[in-house]
């Protein structure tokens, strides 16, 4: 049980780890990685209900574990990842898994789910990655609604990749409509 408690305490650090990207654009009292992770799981739960043929249990488990290495590596913003490279980030996160989790079948499964999420090839991994990006867009919209500006960078690029899923396109379109109305004020 010592290792279990150590793991839970380490993971609890995500509650106090701010999402760095928001800090870099001036949101001082921004969401934590744990805040982000909660809504990623909620978005994944919803998408799992809307998209047929998905292993919902696997999707939800993947959504839960996808940020765990950050309790050791921290939340690296996209600008930092561009400098150090995605491979170095993934290598550091793999090392974090090795330090974070003692060996065991269940924990090895969690690590495998994280690897699958990172690879982004299965339907569940694609949906979990989309849930991660949709959560970021929801948060960007909320910060814009609260008065923060210059958040366009969060709305661009592959963050809008929807993997051809109609529910995702519809959610993004609705967020876009709401954002346009907000900017028109």
Number of domains in the chain: 1
CATH number for the domain including 19?
1.10.3210.10
Range of the domain at 12: 2-184
pLDDT tens, residue by residue, 69-91:
999 999 998 889 999 999 999 99
pLDDT of residue 132: 95
Distances (CA, A) of 16 to 35, 61, 78, 161, 163: 9, 22, 20, 29, 32
pLDDT of residue 104: 67
Q: Which of 107, 133, 109 is nearest to 120 (CA)?
A: 133
Q: What is the pLDDT along the chain (185 residues), one digit of tens a residue?
A: 888 888 899 999 999 999 999 999 999 999 999 999 999 999 999 999 999 999 999 999 999 999 999 999 999 988 899 999 999 999 999 999 888 876 666 678 888 999 999 999 999 999 999 999 999 999 999 999 999 988 998 988 665 666 678 888 899 999 999 999 999 98
Q: Which of 54, 72, 53 is nearest to 63 (CA)?
A: 54
């Amino acid at each position: 049980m010592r290792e279990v408690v150590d793991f839970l305490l380490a993971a609890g650090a995500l509650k106090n780890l701010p999402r760095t990207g928001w800090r870099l654009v001036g949101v001082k009292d921004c969401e934590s990685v744990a805040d982000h992770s909660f809504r990623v799981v909620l978005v994944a739960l919803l998408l799992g209900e809307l998209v047929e043929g998905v292993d919902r249990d696997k999707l939800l488990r993947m959504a839960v574990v996808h940020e765990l290495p950050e309790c050791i590596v921290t939340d690296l913003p996209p600008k930092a990842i561009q400098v150090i490279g995605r491979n170095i980030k993934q290598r550091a996160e793999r090392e974090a898994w090795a330090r974070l989790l003692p060996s065991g079948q269940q924990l090895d499964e969690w690590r495998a789910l994280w690897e699958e999420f990172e690879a982004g090839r299965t339907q569940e991994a694609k949906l979990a990655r989309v849930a991660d990006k949709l959560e970021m867009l929801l948060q960007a919209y909320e910060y814009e609604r609260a008065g923060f500006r210059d958040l366009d960078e969060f709305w661009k690029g592959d963050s809008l990749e929807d993997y051809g899923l109609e529910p995702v396109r519809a959610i993004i379109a609705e967020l876009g409509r709401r954002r346009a109305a907000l900017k028109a004020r």
